[in-house]
Homo-oligomer: A and B are copies of this chain.
Amino acid sequence: MVSQAEENYLKAIFKISEKEVKAASTNAIAAEMQTTAASVTDMLKRLAEKNLIDYEKYRGVQLTAEGNRVATVLIRKHRLWEVFLVDHLGFAWDEVHDLAEQLEHVQGNALIERLDRFLGHPKFDPHGDPIPDAEGRWTLRPQALLATLKPGDRGVVTGVEDHSPAFLQYLDQMGLSLGAEIELLERFPYDQSVRVRTQAGREVSLSEKVGQNLYVKIS
């Protein structure tokens, strides 16, 4: 048995390992989990004991194959529930994360596979993040940060780096929800801000911060 707390730690380690090649550090895990380094050390011992991570004192941790499997299933559940909440219950994409954090811990293989079928085996969640399939395989999508586009480039909004409700709501206001077609009109070297034409022919100005947090598939 893997407790909810243990599952959450495994997911945190997975997310850190996605970005960093090296082993996940105690402090990085503490930051991700919003807890103290001491609590993390306690938990790492327990996870190592259960062979869910490889842990050497002072050296950071890596998921074992089994730890990776548990984390992947958890992310699959989280993202499938987010699809349900948005597509079927009518929640906005900025409202579903905390609910999915709870729903992802509901146990039951049949549940998640039936939910997946009900939803039509979606490949991406409401934030554009890929949903691993029942065998843990990921769909990769060629996408680029808005910050890397050049004037004249056109594309479709496919995802976000920042998942905060504030950013998601801002995107809605700007007409930059998932699937929106955009064209980069101009980039200002002074502050790396850009002018963008959105779907409705509307022109908006976006800061570098937005450029670093918005993914686009160039067409």
Contact = CB atoms under 8 A, between A and B. Distances in A.
Contacts of A107: 102
Contacts of A118: 88-90
A28 interface: no
B106 A99 contact: yes
A115 B84 CA distance: 11
Nearest to A103: B106
Nearest to A102: B106
Interface in A61-110: 85, 88-91, 95, 98-99, 102-103, 106-108, 110
B88 A110 contact: no
Chain A interface size band reads 10 to 19
Contacts of A103: 103, 106
Contact of A90 (B91, B102, B114): B114
Contacts of A110: 91, 95
A18 B79 CA distance: 39
Contacts of A31: none
A102 to B, nearest CB: 5
A89 B102 contact: no
A111 interface: yes
B88 A111 contact: no
Which of A89, A107, A118 lies at the interface centre, i.e. has the most chain B CB atoms within 10 A of its CB? A89
A111 B90 contact: no
A103 B108 CA distance: 11
A121 to B, nearest CB: 14
10 contacts: A85-B111, A88-B118, A89-B114, A89-B115, A90-B114, A90-B118, A91-B110, A91-B114, A99-B106, A102-B106
